[in-house]
Amino acid sequence: MSTYSNLSIELIGTGEQDGTWGATTNKNLQYALQNPIANSKDIAVTGANQTLAWSATDNTEQDARYLRLKLTGSSGGSSDLLVPELSEGKNYYVYNASDTDVTVKTSAAGIEVPAGKSMALYQTGVHSGTNYEVVEAVNYSASYTIASGVINGTTIGATTPSTGAFTTLSATSTFGGAGVDAKFASPPAIGSSAAGTGAFTTLSASSTFSGVGVDAKFASPPAIGSSVAGTGAFTTLSASSTVSGTGAFTTLSATSTVSGAGVTARFATPGPIGDTSPSTGAFTSLSTTLNLQVDGQGFSPTLTLTDAATITWDTNSGQVSKVTLAGNRTMAAPTNLQDGGFYSIQVIQDGTGSRTLAWNAIFKWNAATAPTLSTAAAAVDFFNFRSDGTNLYEQGQTLGVS
């Protein structure tokens, strides 16, 4: 009579199954051997513990026989997955694709495979008391010690700080030391545009300094405390001062403004040097009734509207627009319409087609009848309007353009 191995491979007795042994052998190869060597099985995880059924005298399909188990499902929390206790052991590769922390075990100890993680596990052929255990394969042998080596340029076990210069500092790093802490009580971060806080602690009355707000105002700034006037007429400037007098400016910052011929003729009130606010006052030499001539093309680039349950259109962003419908939608009232303005929208069906579009009441149609969109996948319809600043009046429509 037949007997069965650790993996339930049927071992045919001598002289048995005459004429039928081929079917038994094929089952052994297809299920009892191939599944533990190479194949994968999806196991749906539920909120409750579950057991992989096992028969020691069945060489056909059994979930517990597979080499790789992929855990699926979204029950959350944690649960146990019990595998059979085989006297000669069994390897498992477990990929936990569910959102549940699953402990793979026998009736004895096991290993937790966190959600989203993979582990190589081994069901031992060694008793723990009266049961077999599931252990993590990488920890089944004795522990290993890494005695030496280098990680990212640092020797393992080294206690001496690495030497050499810093090669990269981020824009928000801070640093101290000679030349920094001695000058500011609280030095700012590297790259900070804010002034350092605290008083100067080591500047003498004859020290000189430069920087934003100094070099931009004087060609040759004087020493701190000096009674000699710098180049130009001022020896002390406030944050809002303007500069006049003799001497040329040698440095201007990117935010400086310039007054004089060609500037004050255009602005009523030019701002001071260093002021980042726009100059105030109206243009004095441009008429509001000028005609505009365009040599070439004058156009409003097509604005792509965001597809949503309710589609919005700010006409300040573009008079010509398009939108691709991925569902049945509602067109909201466009904003910032201008009296006399012309507006156009291109409506495109997605790859499914048959999408509908409900129009806001400010859209006014010929014969007071809103159009029916083309229904074919990727169909294109065009609608053109003229506005009185409040409503949009249809000027034409072209449906099913291809």
Structural domains in the chain plus CATH codes: 3-139 (no CATH), 214-251 (no CATH), 253-290 (no CATH), 303-401 (2.60.120)
Distance CA 81, CA 41 (A): 14
Cβ atoms of residues 62 and 39 within 8 Å: no
Q: What is the pLDDT of residues 198-238, one digit of tens each?
A: 554 455 556 555 554 444 344 455 566 666 655 554 445 45
Length of the chain: 402
Taking the C-alpha atoms of residue 303 and residue 320, their distance in angstroms, rounded to an integer, is: 6
* Residue 106's pLDDT band (cuts 50, 70, 90): confident
Q: How far apart (Å, rounded) are the C-alpha atoms in residues 309 and 270?
A: 48
- pLDDT tens per residue, range 37-89: 889 999 999 878 989 988 988 888 889 889 999 999 988 888 999 998 888 88
Residue 182 is which amino acid?
A: A
In the chain, the amino acid numbered 294 is V
Angle, CA of 290, 295 and 297, to the nearest 5°: 110
Angle at 281 between CA 276 and CA 286, to 5 degrees: 115
Closest by CA position to 340, among listed 280, 297, 386: 386
- Closest listed residue to residue 184, CA positions, set 173, 170, 195, 193: 195
The identity of residue 111, as a single letter, is I
H helix runs in 272-354, sequence order: none
Identify the DSSP state of 201: S
Rounded to 5 degrees, what are φ and ψ at 197? -95, 165
Structure pTM?
0.36
Say how many C-beta atoms besides its own lie within 10 A of residue 222's C-beta. 15
Judge whether 285 and 265 are in contact, CB under 8 Å.
yes
Tens digit of each residue's pLDDT (9 = 90 or more) over 135-153: 776 554 445 566 677 777 7
- Calpha distance 53→218 (Å, rounded): 89
